[in-house]
Amino acid sequence: MKKHLLASAILFSLISSPVFSADGDITDVTILGTSDIHGHFMPWDYASDKANMVGSLSQIASKVKDIRKGNDNVILVDAGDTIQGNFVETFKDEPVDPMMLGFNEMKYDVWVPGNHEFDFGLNVLNRSLTQFEGQPLGGNIKRADGNPFLPAHTVIERDGIKIGVIGMDTPMTQVFAEGTNRLEGMTFTNPSLEVKKVIQQIKNDVDAIILVAHMGIDNENNIKDTGVRDIAEANPEIDAIVAGHMHTLVDKAVINGVIVTEPDKYGRALSRIDLQFEERDGEYTLINKDSYTYKIKGTLSDEKMEELYAPYHKRLRENANRVVAELTGVDLVPENEIKGIPQVHIQDTGISTLYQEASMYYAPKANVIALQIDNDKAELDVGQIKAKDIAFNYQYAGGEITVYAMTGKELKTYMEWSAGYFNSVKEGDVTYSFNPERRSSKYSTNDFFAGVTYTIDLTKPAGKRITDLQFADGQKVTDATKITLGMNSYRMGHLTKAGGVLEGQSFPVIFDTEEEYGEDEGTIRNLTVRYLTEVKKGAYEGKPMNRWHLSGLEGYQAERAVIKALINSGKISVPTSSDGRYTNVASINVKDKIFNNKEALNAYITAQEQKLIATTDDVEKAQIQRNIIIANALNK
């Protein structure tokens, strides 16, 4: 490996990306990378039973074919979280893994299992590993006896150039599986150290080193060596990294001279790394490298892949449309009062009640149930309830109910953390809003609690917002109250891991629905279907719910009505994140926009218009334009 011979040239190319020419022969090698496909083998959302052309494996197949037409030196890799999601786990106990069918058709060279590959136990994962015709890698995964579960690397040759490919999974996989036997004693070691070991083994035998890692760029919950940044800082010999796990789109980041790219989630993007080598006297030197991503939205689905997946597609659609109950009464999710502010997050709803009722029924040892609705567009109207509705509104396929023993103090600590999903209400605020950091988290972190009633007072600082906490029968919950909390173990793992609100704590497990009812039948989704069909006999009545509520917007009601009308008519919108992906990340405040005379209003408008001219920031522009419209509307 001769990268170090032209380190300065490579650094220059990273900064300026020049067209490079040399006396020696030039050869290009392209790495194509996917990650976090989560069962999206075709452009179809089986939870809603609707076409979804935003991304899928079959669309990526079309893009890969196009790239290969003009390039023989392509290496195709995947960074994991493949066999779980979008109902593909329906086939987990069948002889053939449909995801590996697609991978083999596309001729993937490398697959690195992610944390969700272990959701269904080793038998299911081993089926996938056996059927994959490329090379699976996982250098930091150790069997119970300490031996490697998978190879740490492979060497792939293209046109005489040898590319060393290293594969690592997030060590958080072990944390997420705590309290289960899914790993059967396997452990996940430090990926930075494992990568360093591999580099020492292969550096003199390869012309470039690529890392494929089921890890995001930054450390997860600030835990060292859980992000590829730490790996790149410790291992500058790596030339490029295909990252994953965090469901983020990264065209190119450069860390310690190492290129990093990440291809989003659900087949929505394809990462590309281009490596350029110069050959002299039979030896190759890397002289240039670059990366970017292709967005897959709108790409036609590959016909061969569609043919391959036709029987799976048919079965999943039939399953999604099974009628499981009839809903009467009221819709389980009220219509959003204000456009862009999901009602499911700001008030108690029948949809969370339904899942919590089923959870409480099948986990009777729990006196409190916690879960989240991980869908801003949650919806279930009066009429037929189909299986797809249950999946659409609770999207985590693997969620079970495990019951943990804890105290009222520990429960309240958890609830306070959950209430941190909201921004504090300030004088003049007329909308509730969400903490931008929590809003953009990979995992929905606004949890709802059944079995208790409570108020979230957003005039109080974070950590002191939960008030009037009591059981449904009116008994007050004190610090010493014995709580048996039902929630899914994956969620609990996030709370107790390093950086979590319950970091380092361990709670006795007194019940587990997967253990009681089976791995499939014990999930929240399937228990809810069973509850509707067997317990409710196919008839469910929706009712308005008020087990918890937010407080803090008790003033400025007339102004709030004006703002509501402006938003719902499309004249203004609620604030969004800078990348446009997350809505309602700040409250709308009217305090400084109410004036006693026209002169003061005009002065304010003039000042805002001057700011608008001066700024080049799109987010700031939107805020200023919003301010002007609001001020004019409030002072008519």
Q: Is residue 7 part of a domain?
A: yes
Q: Is residue 32 part of a domain?
A: no
**Whether residue 527 is found in the same domain as residue 605:** no
**Residue 537, pLDDT score:** 98
Stronger pLDDT, 636 or 449, i.e. the higher one: 449
- Quickly state the pLDDT bin for 443 (edges 50, 70, 90): low
Q: Is residue 26 part of a domain?
A: no
Q: Is residue 21 part of a domain?
A: no
**Residue 20, pLDDT score:** 41
Tokens of 247: 């469901």
**Residue 21, pLDDT score:** 37
Q: Is residue 157 part of a domain?
A: yes
**Whether residue 481 is found in the same domain as residue 587:** no
**Segment 511-517 long-range contacts (CB within 8 Å, at least 24 positions apart):** 511/363, 511/365, 511/366, 511/401, 511/402, 511/403, 511/486, 512/400, 512/401, 512/402, 512/403, 513/359, 513/362, 513/363, 513/400, 513/401, 513/402, 514/180, 514/400, 516/362, 517/362
Question: What digits encode the pLDDT tens for the residues 185-232?
Answer: 999 999 999 999 999 999 999 999 999 999 999 999 789 999 999 999
Q: Is residue 23 part of a domain?
A: no
**Whether residue 401 is found in the same domain as residue 476:** yes
**Whether residue 243 is found in the same domain as residue 332:** no
**Residue 444, pLDDT score:** 62
Q: What is the CATH number of the domain that holds 103?
A: 3.60.21.10
Residue 441 has pLDDT above 90, yes or no: no
Tokens of 61: 């197949």
Tokens of 243: 């990252």
Domain boundary among 287, 314, 341: 314
**Whether residue 259 is found in the same domain as residue 355:** no
Q: Is residue 27 part of a domain?
A: no
Question: What digits encode the pLDDT tens for the residues 40-71?
Answer: 999 999 988 999 999 999 999 999 999 999 89
Residues 489-493 have a mean pLDDT of 88
Q: Is residue 130 part of a domain?
A: yes
Stronger pLDDT, 329 or 9, i.e. the higher one: 329
- Quickly state the pLDDT bin for 14 (edges 50, 70, 90): very low
Candidates 243, 246, 248; CA nearest to 258 is 243
Residues 378-406 have a mean pLDDT of 93
**Residue 1, pLDDT score:** 59
Question: What digits encode the pLDDT tens for the residues 125-174?
Answer: 999 999 999 999 999 999 999 999 999 999 999 999 999 999 999 999 99
Q: For 47-74, b where at least 16 C-beta lie within 10 A, e where not — what string? A: bbbeebebbbbbbbbbbbeebbeeeebb
Q: Which residue range forms the structural domain that includes residue 470?
A: 322-551
Say if CB 322 and CB 390 are below 8 A apart: no
**Whether residue 534 is found in the same domain as residue 573:** no
Tokens of 153: 């690397």
**Whether residue 391 is found in the same domain as residue 423:** yes
Residue 175's H or E segment, with its range, is helix 172-176
Model confidence, pTM: 0.78
**Whether residue 522 is found in the same domain as residue 571:** no
Say if CB 242 and CB 35 are below 8 A apart: yes
Residue 69's H or E segment, with its range, is helix 57-69
Percentage of the residues of the chain whose pLDDT score is greater than 70: 96
Domain boundary among 519, 551, 583: 551
Stronger pLDDT, 247 or 374, i.e. the higher one: 247
Question: What digits encode the pLDDT tens for the residues 545-564?
Answer: 999 999 999 889 999 999 99
Spatial neighbors of 624 by CB under 8 A, at least 6 apart, are 608, 611, 612, 615
Quote helix, strand, coil % in the chain, to nearest 5.
Answer: 35, 25, 40
Q: How many domains does one find in the chain? A: 3
Say if CB 205 and CB 162 are below 8 A apart: yes
Q: What is the CATH number of the domain that holds 379?
A: 3.90.780.10
**247 three-state secondary structure:** coil
**Whether residue 257 is found in the same domain as residue 111:** yes
CA distance 420 to 101: 43
**Whether residue 484 is found in the same domain as residue 579:** no
**Whether residue 300 is found in the same domain as residue 368:** no
The CA-based angle 550-551-556, given to 5 degrees, is 125
**Whether residue 484 is found in the same domain as residue 347:** yes
Domain boundary among 314, 339, 361: 314
Sign of CA pseudo-dihedral 402, 406, 412, 418: negative
